[in-house]
Structure 1
Amino acid sequence: MPFHTERPTLAIDTSTSFLSLALRHQGNTLLHHSEAGTKQSSLILPHINTLFSEAGITAADLGAIVYAQGPGAFTGLRIGTGVAQGLATPFNTPLIGVPCLDAAAYLRPHQTCVLAATDARMGEVFYAWFDTQHHRRLSDYHVGKAADITLPEHTEYADGIGNAFALADKPPFDGTPDMPTAADYLNLALCGRYPATGAAHAELLYVRNKIALTAKEQAERKAQP
């Protein structure tokens, strides 16, 4: 589905406890990025409207909406995607989903082997390997214990990125806990490597089949070596 890069573009990232929004208009980027906790659903539309007011536009003017596709916080991802679909549907605005690990990895451009790893809760991390120099993903998207992450064959480690590197049980590689903002998602989407779709076909990227565990399952998982 084609989209118009010369028109304003909105990006939404609610994959963590932060509410991150970016609006590109006439060469300028307006950014809102704040800790929202469990208040994302009540704060997201007022803050989007503030960005629209600052830029002097409405949702009808958007050429595309970028959204964080996952993996990430289940509820947050649903909020962000739902709002993106709600804004897009009346105007047939294209949506562009950008995987969260991709957005993290490309904070380290021009590297042949980058580990992007983010906190998946329940003692696990989401992770994938990337060659950002040649714009290739070197592995599938995974979820698992950080200690189990292994280097892909025939690669030389360059760097690690993502909030998993701030955990007590962090990946066994060097890395920094930096995370992308909505502006990074927007920049990555505008490179043209991620397809645009209609609102009805927007999808989320899940790598954990079971979202919630019972108290017994959580205790058993924590007891595992």
Structure 2
Amino acid sequence: MQADFRRPVLAIDTSTSYLSLALQTDGQIVSFHEDVGTKQSDLILPQIRVLFEQAGIAAADLGVIVYAQGPGAFTGLRIGTGVAQGLATPFDTPLIGIPCLDAAAYLLPGQSCVLAATDARMGEVFYAWFDTGAHRRLGDYQVGKAAEIVEPEGRAFTGGIGNAFALTDAPPFAGTPKMPAASDYLKLALSGRYPASDAAHAELLYVRNKVALTAKEQAERKAQA
């Protein structure tokens, strides 16, 4: 399926507690980016409607919808993807999923060994290594203890990015906790390096099957802390 970037493009990121939206049309970008906590499902459609009104367009005018694919907050990702599919289905609008760690990594462009790491909760982080200069991922998307992250063989660390670097148990590398916004997902989609699909085949990127600790595991973790 082919994306039409000559038409308006909407990007949606609900992978964290932020509701982040960006709409590009006629070379201009209007956006919304705010920490809304658990109110994403209440606010996402009204805020998209506001962006459409500001740009003078409707959902039928979109040439593609970009969405945060994960890994990230399980409920948030499902909200964003569901809305993207709902807007796309009536008009056969293509969807482009952008992995969240890619969006973080490319906040540090042109570097040979970037660690993108984000908070996965439960004492773990999502992470992956990237060569953002050569536009390559240097290994799999992973989840695990921050302290156990090691550099890819034959590479020298050049930068770290993502909210995992704000954690008490941060990765053992220097990094900034900055996170991408929907406009950054939009920029990556415009690069043409990520494939489009129809709404029925839009997928989320899950790195971890388990999304919550049991009550016993929570108690054990508190005792260890």
Structure 2 length as normaliser, TM-score?
Answer: 0.98
Shift of the alpha carbon at 1:129?
0.2
Partner of 1:21: 21
Specify the code of the residue in structure 1 equivalent to 2:202.
A
127-136 vs 215-224, which deviates more?
A: 215-224
CA contact (8 A) 2:9 2:25 kept: yes
Partner of 1:192: 192
State the 4+ residue runs in structure 1 displaced beyond 3 angstroms: 219-225
Question: SS where residue 97 of structure 2 aligns?
Answer: strand
CA contact (8 A) 1:125 1:146 kept: yes
What is the correspondence of 1:172-191 to structure 2 with a 5 Å cutoff? 172-191=172-191
**In 2, Cα distance between equivalents of 1:146 and 1:215:** 23
Shift of the alpha carbon at 1:112?
0.3
Shift of the alpha carbon at 1:136?
0.3
Matched, 1:8 2:8: yes
What are the superposed Cα offsets for residues 27-63 of structure 1, whole Å, 9 maximum, x if unpaired?
Answer: 0011100011000000000000000000000000000
Partner of 1:53: 53
Shift of the alpha carbon at 1:224?
6.6
Shift of the alpha carbon at 1:174?
0.4
**In 1, Cα distance between equivalents of 2:202 and 2:223:** 38
**In 2, Cα distance between equivalents of 1:71 and 1:223:** 28
CA contact (8 A) 1:12 1:182 kept: yes
What are the superposed Cα offsets for residues 169-225 of structure 1, whole Å, 9 maximum, x if unpaired?
Answer: 100000000000000000001101110000000000000111122111233456679
**In 1, Cα distance between equivalents of 2:146 and 2:137:** 19
- Among all aligned residue pairs of Structure 1 and Structure 2, give the percentage whose two residues are the same amino acid: 75
Specify the code of the residue in structure 1 equivalent to 2:7.
R
Matched, 1:213 2:213: yes
Partner of 1:110: 110
Report the number of matched residues. 225
Question: SS where residue 33 of structure 1 aligns?
Answer: strand
Question: SS where residue 143 of structure 1 aligns?
Answer: strand
CA contact (8 A) 1:97 1:196 kept: yes
**In 1, Cα distance between equivalents of 2:146 and 2:220:** 18
Question: SS where residue 183 of structure 1 aligns?
Answer: helix
**In 2, Cα distance between equivalents of 1:107 and 1:51:** 24
User: Any stretches of 5+ residues in structure 2 without a counterpart?
Assistant: none
Partner of 1:123: 123
What are the superposed Cα offsets for residues 125-164 of structure 1, whole Å, 9 maximum, x if unpaired?
Answer: 0000000000000010011110010011000110000000
Structure 1 length as normaliser, TM-score?
Answer: 0.98
Shift of the alpha carbon at 1:104?
0.1
Question: SS where residue 57 of structure 1 aligns?
Answer: coil
**In 1, Cα distance between equivalents of 2:222 and 2:93:** 44
Specify the code of the residue in structure 2 equivalent to 1:54.
Q
CA contact (8 A) 1:104 1:116 kept: yes
Question: SS where residue 69 of structure 1 aligns?
Answer: strand
Please give the root-mean-square deviation of Cα atoms over the aligned residues, in Å. 1.1
Question: SS where residue 65 of structure 1 aligns?
Answer: strand
What is the correspondence of 1:68-217 to structure 2 with a 5 Å cutoff? 68-217=68-217
What are the superposed Cα offsets for residues 76-107 of structure 1, whole Å, 9 maximum, x if unpaired?
Answer: 00000000000000000000000000000000
Q: Alpha carbons of 1:214 and 1:166: their partners in 2 closer, same or farther (altered >3 Å)?
A: same
Partner of 1:37: 37
194-203 vs 213-222, which deviates more?
A: 213-222
Question: SS where residue 154 of structure 1 aligns?
Answer: coil
CA contact (8 A) 1:123 1:222 kept: no
**In 2, Cα distance between equivalents of 1:194 and 1:224:** 42
Q: Alpha carbons of 1:222 and 1:145: their partners in 2 closer, same or farther (altered >3 Å)?
A: farther
